[in-house]
Amino acid sequence: MELDNIERLLEKYFEATTTVAEEQTLQAYFSQEEVASHLEQYRPMFNYFSIAKEERYTKQVPLKPRKRNYKWLSIAAVVVLTVGIYFGNYQIERNKEREQARIAYEETKKAFELLAENFGKGTDKVAYLQEFEIAKQKIYNNN
Amino acid sequence: MKQSEFLNVVMPFKDKLYRLAKRLLVSKEEAEDATQEILLKLWSKNESMGEYKNVEAFAMTMTKNFCLDRLKSKQASNLKLVHSNYEDEKTSLQKQLEAEDSVRWMERIMEELPEQQKMVLQLRDVEQYEFEEICELLDMKPTAVRVTLSRARKAVRQELIKKHNYGIG
């Protein structure tokens, strides 16, 4: 490759008017062992570009099994929600019933207590009657 | 699209995605994460992938946007991307040492360029895309691409000349 051609290409290169093919010519020239000494300074540039092209992405291409089926996920969610609401309501109803039963029980207990108290009063009064009976018996005995 | 078909589509350009990501994010780990993210995004879109006439261009644009967003958010949170991938596979040969040295030097120079120039240079001089493709990928006008490319190349040249002269003097 004649030197003046390379020099001309270099000039064009720095004006960014070379074609890809011309740039490859330049790269080929600078990859030789012998380069004109006044062009030596450009060598690292072209060498670097060809080295940089060698770099590889060495990691595995990570392809996870793609997107789960969200349709099924939503159906499952609806089912869970429905069941949840149904049993939730059921539970609340049952709690309410239990509460009512407890209140009724309390009321009944109160009523029974009232009854028992009054019975108690009755027995006290009957105790007087007992006294009367004893006194009566005494009188009979004396006669 | 089946997984194997998807891989067939993606395999030829996944390295390009990675290299672009690494050009922008510099750190190897960050670039790997970004590439992975992009591939997963593509995979999740694979049903509509037939609609894109050029999946590669689409993926490259995604990568570009993803990385720029990432850089922006890092900047906003005042964090700097750190990287530790200065490889040092030492060889005894003087020449190889010099070559590696110049590669590292070039890497440093490329890191200093503005993002736009980085991308154009990467796409053109490393991946050898045509101008029209670059316009499409970066959403730029052809003249803008040319100007940016020219500037990037000249910036690299200037740094190299500086280094070259320094090396001699």
Nearest-angstrom CA–CA distance, B81 and B75 = 9
Angle at B29 between CA B26 and CA B30, to 5 degrees: 60
| pLDDT of res. B91 | 45
pLDDT higher than threshold 80 for residue A68: no
Sign of the CA dihedral with B108 first, then B132, B39, and A61 last: negative
Over pLDDT 70: what percentage of chain B? Answer: 82
* Overall average pLDDT of the B75-84 stretch: 64
* Overall average pLDDT of the B14-26 stretch: 93
| B15, B46, B156: residue with CB nearest A56 | B15
* Overall average pLDDT of the A94-105 stretch: 93
Closest-CA distance of chain A to residue B129, Å: 8
Helix/strand/coil for A58 = coil
| pLDDT of res. B92 | 46
Over pLDDT 70: what percentage of chain A? Answer: 94
Q: How confident is the model at residue A73 (pLDDT cuts 50, 70, 90)?
A: confident
For the CA atoms of A47, A49, A50, A55, the dihedral, rounded to the nearest 10 degrees, stands at 130
Q: Are B119 and B64 in contact (CB under 8 A)?
A: yes
Question: Left (φ > 0), alpha (ψ -120 to 50) or beta: where does B158 sit?
Answer: alpha
For the record, the structure tokens of B31 come out as: 């670039």
Identity of the amino acid at A81: L
Nearest-angstrom CA–CA distance, A113 and A85 = 42
Lowest mean pLDDT among A4-13, A33-42, A53-62, B145-154: A53-62
| pLDDT of res. B142 | 93
Q: How confident is the model at residue A110 (pLDDT cuts 50, 70, 90)?
A: very high
Cβ <8 Å between A47 and B14 = no
| pLDDT of res. B163 | 79
Q: Are A67 and B44 in contact (CB under 8 A)?
A: yes
For the record, the structure tokens of A55 come out as: 């770099």
If one compares B101 and B79, the residue with the highest pLDDT of the two is B101
Contacts of A35 (CB under 8 A, 6+ apart): A29, A43
Q: How confident is the model at residue B67 (pLDDT cuts 50, 70, 90)?
A: very high
Over pLDDT 90: what percentage of chain B? Answer: 49
Cβ <8 Å between B130 and A20 = yes
What is the average pLDDT score of chain A?
Answer: 87
| pLDDT of res. B128 | 93
If one compares A69 and B37, the residue with the highest pLDDT of the two is B37
If one compares B72 and B84, the residue with the highest pLDDT of the two is B72
pLDDT higher than threshold 60 for residue A109: yes
For residue B145, the surrounding DSSP H or E stretch is helix B142-168
If one compares B99 and B13, the residue with the highest pLDDT of the two is B13
A47 touching B (Cβ < 8 Å) = yes
When scoring B126, B141, B156 by the number of chain A Cβ atoms within 10 A, the one with the most, hence best to mutate, is B126
Q: How long is chain A? A: 143
* Overall average pLDDT of the A123-139 stretch: 85
Q: How confident is the model at residue B74 (pLDDT cuts 50, 70, 90)?
A: confident
Identity of the amino acid at A36: A
| pLDDT of res. B88 | 52
> How far is CA B137 from each of CA A27, A47, A126, B13, B142, rounded to the nearest angstrom?
24, 25, 113, 14, 11
| pLDDT of res. B135 | 94
| pLDDT of res. B169 | 44
> Is this prediction's ipTM beyond 0.90?
no
* Closest chain A residue to the Cα of B45, Cα to Cα: A66
Task: Look up residue B113 and give its DSSP letter.
Answer: S
Helix axis angle, A43-52 to A20-30, nearest 10°? 110
What long-range pairs does B66-71 form, CB within 8 A, spacing at least 24? B66/B21, B66/B34, B66/B37, B66/B38, B67/B20, B67/B21, B67/B24, B67/B25, B67/B34, B68/B24, B68/B115, B70/B25, B70/B30, B70/B34, B71/B24, B71/B25, B71/B115
* Overall average pLDDT of the A42-60 stretch: 88
Task: Look up residue B47 and give its DSSP letter.
Answer: G
Cβ <8 Å between A53 and B105 = no
- Identify residues of B whose CB sits under 8 angstroms from chain A CBs: 3, 6-7, 10-11, 14-15, 17-19, 22, 32, 35-36, 39-40, 43-44, 46, 99, 102-103, 105-107, 110, 122, 124-128, 130, 146-147, 149-150, 153-154, 156-157, 160-161, 164
Q: What is the pTM of this model?
A: 0.67
pLDDT higher than threshold 80 for residue B165: no
